[in-house]
Amino acid sequence: MKTVHLIRHAKSSWNNANLADVDRTLNHRGQQDCKTMAQPIFEAGCKFESVYCSIAERAQMTIQGMSESLTQQNIEWILEEALYTFDDRDLLDWFSNLPDTLNDVTIVGHNPAITEFTNRLSNRQIANVPTCGYVCIQFPISTWIDLSKGSGDCIHFLTPKNLQDTD
């Protein structure tokens, strides 16, 4: 069994038009959403053990914000240039090259790649994984190369708005 935890970066700031896309930071709402989402994501089964993050500043700030909210977890992550992508096929290629000794992997990345990856590989169709949204997909496979269309079971889909609506 392989489990994929997908976290879309939190809401980014567009205040500085001179910044390159990769350098955009989180806005205030994005920072707050990291705090809101960290514990529910953890409780949904994401233990943040093998975490890989896009090189984009907003993605790094997202995992940093979650880490600061889950101090007992001592979350560490690896920056992956290949995760700075908006194409689900790039994500599939990246996952297919993971060592099979890893069974539970978390990535912090971007849309539309995350939504399209979910829709292509799982049994669930999601219109949009919003900023700071979380998806967990389980695959009944033993090697990452065996990821295939519709083979995963989407067991969790959490969004900041879902959590605020239940308060």
Q: What is the mean pLDDT of residues 137-154?
A: 97
Reading across the β-sheet that carries 77-80, which strands appear in turn?
77-80, 51-54, 104-109, 2-8, 134-139, 153-158
Q: Measuring CA to CA, which residue among 103, 155, 164, 165 is closest to residue 134?
A: 155
Percent of the chain with pLDDT over 90: 90
CATH, residue 34: 3.40.50.1240
Q: What pLDDT does residue 167 have?
A: 42
Residues 6 or more apart whose Cβ sits within 8 Å of residue 119: 125, 126
Q: How many structural domains are present in the chain?
A: 1
Residue 20: other Cβ atoms inside 10 A: 8
**What's the whole-number average pLDDT of the chain?**
95
Place of tokens 């060592």: 99
What domain range is 72 assigned to? 2-165
- Is pLDDT of 165 > 70? no
The pTM is what? 0.95
164 pLDDT higher than 80: no
pLDDT at 17: 85
**Helix and strand element counts for the chain (H, E):** 5, 6
At residue 16 the predicted structure's pLDDT band, cuts being 50, 70 and 90, is confident
Neighbours of 10 (CB within 10 A): 29
Strands (E), 55-158: 77-80, 104-109, 134-139, 153-158
Helices assigned H by DSSP within the chain:
28-43, 57-69, 88-96, 113-121, 160-165
User: For the residues 122-127, what does the mean pLDDT come to?
Assistant: 96
Per-residue pLDDT of 75-112, as tens digits, reads 999 999 999 999 999 999 999 999 999 999 999 999 99
